[in-house]
Chains A and B, each alone.
Chain A
Amino acid sequence: MTDTPIKDQAARDAAAKVAEYEHGWSADIETDFAPKGLTEDTVRFISAKKNEPDWMLDWRLKAFRLWQTMDAPDWAKLNVPPIDYQDAYYYAAPKAKKKLESLDEVDPEILKVYEKLGIPIEEQKVLAGVEGARKVAVDAVFDSVSVATTFREELKKAGVIFLSISEAIREYPDLVKKWLGRVVPVRDNYFAALNCAVFSDGTFVYIPEGVRCPMELSTYFRINAENTGQFERTLIIADKGSYVSYLEGCTAPMRDENQLHAAVVELVALDDAEIKYSTVQNWYPGDAQGKGGIYNFVTKRALCQGARSKVSWTQVETGSAITWKYPSCVLNGDDSVGEFYSVAVTNNYQQADTGTKMIHNGKRTRSTIVSKGISAGHSSGTYRGLVRVAPQAEGVRNFTQCDSLLLGDQCGAHTVPYIEVKNPSAQIEHEATTSKISDDQLFYAMQRGLAQEEAVALIVNGFAKEVLQQLPMEFAVEAQKLLGISLEGSVG
């Protein structure tokens, strides 16, 4: 992203137009919001607002009815306060943010972080939800019309479909119908069912056969994250022999009035296709006393349906008060590959229960799991991972490496591996370590000239390097800074 100013008014207007209409992410969500509470009417309201076809409404309603019969999971090592689902708005996410008059009203702690990340001032305003900031920042971020246009044209030329999920439901109903809910069934879990009923928007990607997506697909301008509401829905389909790298999230901490976030992400990889999905999650974690913060209950799963297909999940999780998240791979295709690289940081009173599931159904399927948990303050981090090998799956291999790093002695780290092997030919390796940043290490680094916090950041980044290396270059740099920032004040 560069800061080239936009030269003329026409270009400026065009950029705004691109932002508001072509992306479809804000056009039809202008003013209305559904009444508080969650009933069938809420679901109908949302569907109607989005001009959805009947099949979509039916799908949502079925999900809603199912959800009503389900209970929230309680097996995770989390302490989740009861959530009153009737005391929330389900269709107002973009407007629910209280607009601030200026950056002066924003928590100075958050501003400090923006500064450290080097986020331009106009963009800071958008992230923080300052009144009237959006358009300016969209200009700033789009930096010139040509970038946006080139971007879209290039994708079009390659045949890549990259739309909001609402648009995709209208424009590519067959593709959506075929795969939506295929990877994460409606009944999969409580939060997934809720998402199916009320999801507000999200992203749809289709990469045609044999196409290598010409660029990293992301919330490609940081700003788009503004509208990733509380019930986001993502569906990515990589057709035979295609490749795509998708970046989700934002290193800047996002202020959001919505406490509960329950996203669903479904990935499908057909024969020889590869999907690389990278996430940086930095939702508001609550204050140092543990007040406030986002509950992040996400269901992410990939279907490696085709032979030799491959999916890599890479995540850097530093935000949210509570994280409940297990990006998984169902390895159906023979010789398919699943990877999970994770860094999860918890500080203060944050709780994270995260990990992965690798379901080996195909022959000679392989999976690699590298999980790095970093806990500080009074926080608690749990790695929970399942490796399952089906009876018919010959020659499966899995390697799991689970490392925990503790800062201080008030925090906890837990590793909960589940291994279910129904085929004796499987080779499963599991390694786990727990270490502490020692006073010796800190002093050594400080003696060489690093301030304590710089020393912590350096050591932590060293610990997480294997995972950070998996991130696309420009993301990795930001993620590195982010790790240091998340742990500030955690030592000494």
Chain B
Amino acid sequence: MLSISNLHATVADKPILKGLSLTINAGEIHAIMGPNGAGKSTLGYTLAGRPGYQVTAGGAQFDGQDLLALDAHERAAAGLFLGFQYPVEIPGVSNVQFLRESLNAQRKLRGEPPLSGADFLKVARAQADAMGMDLDMLKRPVNVGFSGGEKKRNEMVQMGILNPKLALLDETDSGLDIDALRIVGEGINRIMRKPDKAVLLITHYQRLLDYVQPDFVHVLADGKIVRSGGPELALELERDGYKDLAA
């Protein structure tokens, strides 16, 4: 589904990704861990097409397309979703409006008819319910005044509504209380654990992986994948930290 080869990227002329390769097949769940500042979020932004994240070498194929040739919104329509480490507030724009316009913009690009207001609300309600989010919050402006945990939960509601093929989830577990962690974990499984979908979880802790069992775990350090393994690698890292990995 996603194959990244030798990806180099700079931010503000500073090299951050330095030859990163990674392949994710449909049906797989991958986790990426790594020290602060290693470039995990940068990887997510670069793949999602954030302006200012310059690819200087290497490439990425998504579903047989040259991912890097697409604009950010085209990547979204192609089925790529980024759960933000720091979800953004948009005053004055309700969640409902934001998501409905977003979904319909995606559908338009895919040549699908728009969803009516009523049909959209049905979908939105179901997803909010499943994520234990109050309906009132759907009507509130996007992330404005949401607590840290509520913002993360909202990211998952959005993922449920947009129903992507590939989700890059950047520290979706940070800031969640114990119950919310479980709900989010179950949500990821419910929405994304399907034979035709895939997930890349960026996380610092094993606790999310208790709910969302990864097929592969990778360590990203200094802009590269320095080690890959199975679920046991996460446990090992939790025990030993990253110090032995400094290459």
In the complex, the answer to whether A441 meets B105 with C-beta atoms within 8 Å is no
In the complex, the answer to whether A454 meets B84 with C-beta atoms within 8 Å is no
Q: Quick one: closest A residue to B109, CB to CB?
A: A449
Q: In the bound complex, what is the Cα–Cα distance between A465 and B82 (angstroms)?
A: 28
Most chain A beta carbons < 10 A, residue from B45, B75, B77, B92: B92
Q: In the bound complex, what is the Cα–Cα distance between A492 and B45 (angstroms)?
A: 18
Most chain B beta carbons < 10 A, residue from A452, A462, A492: A462
Q: Quick one: closest B residue to A463, CB to CB?
A: B92
In the complex, the answer to whether B71 meets A444 with C-beta atoms within 8 Å is no
Q: In the bound complex, what is the Cα–Cα distance between A446 and B50 (angstroms)?
A: 9
Give residues 22-44 of B contacting A (CB, 8 Å): none
- Cβ of B195 within 8 Å of any chain A Cβ, yes or no, is no
Q: Could you give, for residues 183-225 of chain B, a 1 whenever the CB lies within 8 Å of some chain A CB and a 0 otherwise? A: 0000000000000000000000000000000000000000000
In the complex, the answer to whether B82 meets A450 with C-beta atoms within 8 Å is no
Q: Report chain B residues within 8 Å CB of A447.
A: 48-50, 72-73, 75-76, 81-82, 84
- Cβ of B69 within 8 Å of any chain A Cβ, yes or no, is no
Choice from A438, A446, A451, A459 contacting B93 with Cβ under 8 Å: A459
- Cβ of B87 within 8 Å of any chain A Cβ, yes or no, is yes
In the complex, the answer to whether A449 meets B162 with C-beta atoms within 8 Å is yes
Range of interface residues on chain A?
Answer: 20 to 34
Q: Report chain A residues within 8 Å CB of B84.
A: 444, 447
Q: In the bound complex, what is the Cα–Cα distance between A458 and B48 (angstroms)?
A: 20
Q: How far is the CB of A390 from chain B (nearest CB, A)?
A: 36
In the complex, the answer to whether A449 meets B106 with C-beta atoms within 8 Å is yes
Choice from B45, B90, B92, B141 contacting A445 with Cβ under 8 Å: B90
In the complex, the answer to whether B77 meets A449 with C-beta atoms within 8 Å is yes
- Cβ of A332 within 8 Å of any chain B Cβ, yes or no, is no
In the complex, the answer to whether B105 meets A451 with C-beta atoms within 8 Å is yes
Known pairs A450-B73, A451-B73, A452-B73; A445 contacts B91 (CB<8 A): no
In the complex, the answer to whether A462 meets B101 with C-beta atoms within 8 Å is no
Q: Quick one: closest B residue to A448, CB to CB?
A: B102
Q: Report chain B residues within 8 Å CB of A459.
A: 90, 92-93
Give residues 43-73 of B contacting A (CB, 8 Å): 45, 48-52, 71-73
- Cβ of A440 within 8 Å of any chain B Cβ, yes or no, is yes
Most chain B beta carbons < 10 A, residue from A439, A443, A452, A463: A443
Q: In the bound complex, what is the Cα–Cα distance between A174 and B158 (angstroms)?
A: 63
- Cβ of B146 within 8 Å of any chain A Cβ, yes or no, is no
Q: Report chain B residues within 8 Å CB of A439.
A: 51-52
Q: Report chain A residues within 8 Å CB of B48.
A: 443, 447
In the complex, the answer to whether A441 meets B90 with C-beta atoms within 8 Å is yes
Q: Report chain A residues within 8 Å CB of B49.
A: 446-447
Q: How far is the CB of B120 from chain A (nearest CB, A)?
A: 13
Q: In the bound complex, what is the Cα–Cα distance between A438 and B88 (angstroms)?
A: 10
Q: How far is the CB of B220 from chain A (nearest CB, A)?
A: 21
Q: Quick one: closest A residue to B104, CB to CB?
A: A449
- Cβ of A351 within 8 Å of any chain B Cβ, yes or no, is no
Q: How far is the CB of B116 from chain A (nearest CB, A)?
A: 16
Q: Report chain B residues within 8 Å CB of A454.
A: 73, 101, 105
Q: Could you give, for residues 158-183 of chain B, a 1 whenever the CB lies within 8 Å of some chain A CB and a 0 otherwise? A: 10001000000000000000000000
Q: Quick one: closest A residue to B76, CB to CB?
A: A449
- Cβ of A461 within 8 Å of any chain B Cβ, yes or no, is yes
In the complex, the answer to whether B92 meets A449 with C-beta atoms within 8 Å is no
Known pairs A451-B71, A458-B93, A461-B93; A443 contacts B51 (CB<8 A): yes
- Cβ of B103 within 8 Å of any chain A Cβ, yes or no, is yes
In the complex, the answer to whether B71 meets A446 with C-beta atoms within 8 Å is yes
In the complex, the answer to whether B93 meets A462 with C-beta atoms within 8 Å is yes
Choice from B50, B99, B103, B141 contacting A443 with Cβ under 8 Å: B50
Known pairs A439-B51, A462-B141, A492-B51; A450 contacts B92 (CB<8 A): no
Q: Could you give, for residues 155-192 of chain A, a 1 whenever the CB lies within 8 Å of some chain B CB and a 0 otherwise? A: 00000000000000000000000000000000000000
Q: In the bound complex, what is the Cα–Cα distance between A464 and B45 (angstroms)?
A: 30
Choice from A440, A446, A464 contacting B73 with Cβ under 8 Å: A446
In the complex, the answer to whether B51 meets A445 with C-beta atoms within 8 Å is no
In the complex, the answer to whether A446 meets B52 with C-beta atoms within 8 Å is no
Q: In the bound complex, what is the Cα–Cα distance between A463 and B89 (angstroms)?
A: 12
Q: In the bound complex, what is the Cα–Cα distance between A353 and B99 (angstroms)?
A: 36
In the complex, the answer to whether B101 meets A443 with C-beta atoms within 8 Å is no
Q: Report chain A residues within 8 Å CB of B90.
A: 441, 444-445, 458-459, 462
In the complex, the answer to whether B91 meets A448 with C-beta atoms within 8 Å is no
Q: In the bound complex, what is the Cα–Cα distance between A464 and B109 (angstroms)?
A: 27
Q: In the bound complex, what is the Cα–Cα distance between A444 and B75 (angstroms)?
A: 13
Q: Report chain A residues within 8 Å CB of B93.
A: 458-459, 461-462
Q: Report chain A residues within 8 Å CB of B81.
A: 447
Q: How far is the CB of B48 from chain A (nearest CB, A)?
A: 5
In the complex, the answer to whether B88 meets A441 with C-beta atoms within 8 Å is yes
Q: In the bound complex, what is the Cα–Cα distance between A454 and B90 (angstroms)?
A: 14
Q: How far is the CB of B242 from chain A (nearest CB, A)?
A: 28
Q: Report chain A residues within 8 Å CB of B89.
A: 441
Q: Quick one: closest A residue to B99, CB to CB?
A: A448
Q: How far is the CB of A281 from chain B (nearest CB, A)?
A: 22
Beyond A440-B88, A446-B49, A449-B77, list 17 extra A-B contacts (CB 8 Å).
A441-B90, A443-B72, A443-B88, A444-B88, A445-B90, A445-B98, A446-B73, A447-B49, A447-B50, A447-B73, A447-B75, A449-B73, A450-B102, A451-B105, A454-B101, A462-B92, A462-B93
Q: Interface on A for B, CB 8 Å cutoff?
A: 438-441, 443-452, 454, 458-459, 461-465, 492
23 CB-based A-B contacts, threshold 8 Å: A441-B89, A443-B88, A444-B87, A444-B88, A446-B49, A446-B71, A446-B73, A447-B82, A448-B102, A448-B158, A449-B73, A449-B76, A449-B109, A449-B162, A450-B73, A451-B105, A454-B101, A454-B105, A458-B98, A461-B92, A462-B90, A462-B91, A463-B92
Interface pairs A-B: 4 shortest CB-CB: A462-B92, A462-B93, A448-B102, A449-B106
